[in-house]
Structure 1
Amino acid sequence: MKVADTDLKQEIARVNNQVNLSLFGTGLRKQRVTLVEDKIIITADHKRIPALAAIDQQDRMSSRIADVAILDEYKRRLKQELIEQIQLPVICVLKDYAPEYELAVTFILLSNTR
């Protein structure tokens, strides 16, 4: 692994944590950034939003709709911040979250001009 890749991973992790702080009011417990050619994969462990955890117990469909709306906003913000702060050529951001395990995977596709 190149030193530049290590620095880039740290910057991506910093921006990702910053987006989580701005959206959820809390940072990530832990995260791992993997670079593969023109792709970035972030695996993260973070606490479930307490209100959604409570709704999950009574009405999973309603909390799932809220999850999707939150994920959409997260993806929009992360893409914007990666472009603005690190000048990464982001094409799209995909993310899913497994509330029962409090794990998320984010996939970022870059144009191959990186």
Structure 2
Amino acid sequence: MGMAGFSSLGEFKQALTRDYNRINSSIFASGVVTLKIDVLEDRISMLAVHKRQPALQTLSRENAHIADLADLYLIKAFKKEMKQILVEEYGLDVVAVFKDYDAVAQLSSTMVLLKKEV
């Protein structure tokens, strides 16, 4: 199986869930409320419900532009760390990590594109 030594897709997704939460906790000091991971051919899709940080909620009310910039750079940090883990710990050949966050819905979507099927 091409899942970096995992014996099942379920085990692979559980490990990804742990790493996603660990990265999220290191950046935002909190895990996610829910996370759904789907693997299809050369793509890994992650849809998460987040709990918005109170400081970022306040910043959004006071200056939405600055809050958007903060979100952008926090997302960049997340993507960099996620890609590093997928390459170094999972042995995956990552083309790109895409991520977007909707602060109002408190939802994020992450898409990982790989060079070959998982």
Q: TM-score, normalised by structure 1?
A: 0.91
Cα distance, 1:113 vs structure 2:
5.6
Cα contact 1:15–1:82 (8 A) shared by 2: no
1:15 paired to 2:43: no
1:84 paired to 2:84: no
1:56 paired to 2:64: no
Identical aligned residues as a percent: 31
Q: Which runs of 4+ in 1 moved over 3 A?
A: none
Q: Residues of 1 paired with 2:16 and 2:115: CA distance? A: 16
Cα contact 1:39–1:109 (8 A) shared by 2: yes
Deviates further, 33-42 or 19-28: 19-28
Aligned-partner SS, 1:106: strand
Q: Residues of 2 paired with 1:4 and 1:90: CA distance? A: 20
Q: Residues of 1 paired with 2:65 and 2:93: CA distance? A: 35
| Aligned positions, number | 112
Counterpart for residue 3 of structure 2: none
Residue among 101, 104, 108 paired with 2:108: 104
Q: Residues of 2 paired with 1:31 and 1:17: CA distance? A: 9
Aligned-partner SS, 2:35: strand
Q: Residues of 1 paired with 2:102 and 2:117: CA distance? A: 32
1:33 paired to 2:23: no
* RMSD between aligned residues: 1.3
Task: Tell me which amino acid in the other structure corresponds to 2:77.
Answer: E
Q: Comparing both structures, which one devotes a greater share of its residues to helix?
A: 1
Q: Residues of 2 paired with 1:55 and 1:27: CA distance? A: 20
